[in-house]
A and B are shown apart, each in its own frame.
Chain A
Amino acid sequence: GAGVSQSPSNKVTEKGKDVELRCDPISGHTALYWYRQRLGQGLEFLIYFQGNSAPDKSGLPSDRFSAERTGESVSTLTIQRTQQEDSAVYLCASSLPRWTTTWGQETQYFGPGTRLLVL
């Protein structure tokens, strides 16, 4: 079946512009995560959605970053007034509901990422 998809795959923008990144999770996956990976660095958690619960926004680095998710489907990550330090690969992942697997062992499936370059 289809995996996690993300669009665009690459985005080049000018400093100060807003960008919107999209993630389509695997069908039936109620959990959705956004991560950021700067060049040569590990993944940084940004935000987590689980069904209709309030999202965990604890990883968002500033108020320029926001994300939305409609029900259990598509999510968009918006970065306002982009800065050069926002340049990174933005990865989305989804997983099955916790109650379908051994607690804490649910696998996260990653999309291919969006490579963002802010000039």
Chain B
Amino acid sequence: RKEVEQDPGPFNVPEGATVAFNCTYSNSASQSFFWYRQDCRKEPKLLMSVYSSGNEDGRFTAQLNRASQYISLLIRDSKLSDSATYLCVVRSGYSTLTFGKGTMLLVSP
């Protein structure tokens, strides 16, 4: 089992749609969780950290279920500019982050 697994994608949605990304991780000792966004041929950038109680930032909501070792990202009212690859990221050790392969989102007019 891969350390961090994400929906393979791509997700094609119209503007205004709600889209959800799922991610599972294998290491039950994982301690920190993040969603990063990577635009085509660009570097990844932090979108949001994921806290145990769940957290929201505008149209974006992140959830964590430690018992199921599952993380989700919900995007409401999607915009064309949301088109990117969304990376699920987990910190298990002292220093390293483990990245999922990412799920590509394509928002169309």
Whether B31 and A104, one on each chain, are in contact in the complex, defined by CB atoms closer than 8 angstroms, is: yes
Closest B residue by C-beta to A104: B32
What is the size category of the interface that chain B forms with chain A? 20 to 34
**Is B96 on the interface with A (CB-CB < 8 A)?**
yes
Residues of B within 8 A of A91 (CB): 43-44
Interface 1/0 per residue, A25-55 and B, CB below 8 Å: 0000001010100001111110010100000
**Closest Cβ neighbor of B44 among chain A residues:** A110
Q: Report the count of interface residues on A (CB-CB < 8 A).
A: 23
| In the complex, chain A residues whose CB is within 8 Å of the CB of B91 | 104
Number of A-B contacts (CB under 8 A): 44
Main secondary structure of the interface of B (DSSP, over half): strand
Which A residues are CB-close (under 8 A) to B102? 42
Q: How far is the CA of A33 from the CA of B93 in the complex (A)?
A: 14
Q: For B97, list chain A residues within 8 Å (CB).
A: 33, 45, 108
Chain A window 78-119, contacts with chain B (Cβ cutoff 8 Å), 1 for yes, 0 for no: 000000000000010000000000001101101111000000
Judged by a CB distance under 8 angstroms, whether B46 is at the interface is: yes
**Complex: how many Å from CA A10 to CA B70?**
37
B53 near A: Cβ within 8 Å? no
A56 / chain B contacts, CB cutoff of 8 Å: 94-96
Whole-angstrom distance between the alpha carbons of A110 and B99 in the complex? Answer: 14
A44 to B100, CA, bound (A): 9
Taking A42-B102, A105-B32, A105-B49 as contacts, is the C-beta distance between A112 and B95 under 8 angstroms? Answer: no
A43 cross-chain contacts in B, Cβ below 8 A: 44, 87, 99
Do B96 and A59 touch (CB < 8 A)?
Answer: yes
Q: A104-B91, A105-B32 are in contact. Are A45 and B44 (CB under 8 A)?
A: no
Judge whether B42 is part of the interface by a CB distance below 8 angstroms: yes
The interface of chain A, by Cβ under 8 A from chain B, is: 31, 33, 35, 40-45, 48, 50, 56, 58-59, 91, 104-105, 107-108, 110-113
Please report B residues at the A interface, Cβ cutoff 8 Å: 4, 31-32, 42-46, 49, 87, 91, 94-102
